[in-house]
Amino acid sequence: QVQLAESGGGSGQAGGSLRLSCKASGFTYSEYCMAWFRQAPGKKRETIATIDSDGSRSYAESVKDRFTISQDNAENSLYLQMNTLKPQDTAMYYCAAAAGRVYCSTYRPEKGFNYWGQGTQVTVSD
């Protein structure tokens, strides 16, 4: 059974940094696509970053050059380093995963991800 568990959320100041982690268990695909999504109150969930098993990354324009997605296969973990935080980054953040790395980008729809974590809240104040 695949399980994803996010951690590292919390409160931060505008201009500051936070690092999110997503620990995967039972996820044994050699080719995969993993992603970070976020959902702000009253808004649709959006993809903000993806990474595939080859290490190829993509970012939404709203976080490009501020956020970095990375992975540690030895730790079965996915990370999101968030720098230069803005109040509009306030949201619930989710990690997601899917077998296969075809079409692994921020344009991949939500239904293209089979596995989801429970989410971790990030709140950024002025």
Instruction: Report phi then psi at 28, rounded to 5.
Output: -120, 20
* Euclidean distance between the first and the last CA atom of the chain, given in angstroms as a whole number: 41
Distance from C-alpha of 109 to C-alpha of 112, rounded to nearest angstrom: 5
CB 96 within 8 A of CB 39: no
pLDDT tens, per residue, the chain with 126 residues: 999 999 999 999 999 999 999 999 999 999 999 999 999 999 999 999 999 999 999 999 999 999 999 999 999 999 999 999 999 999 999 999 999 998 999 999 999 999 999 999 999 999
Q: How confident is the model at residue 113, as a pLDDT?
A: 97
Q: How confident is the model at residue 123, as a pLDDT?
A: 98
DSSP output for 82-96? E-S--GGG-EEEEEE
Beta strand 115-116 with 91-99 is antiparallel
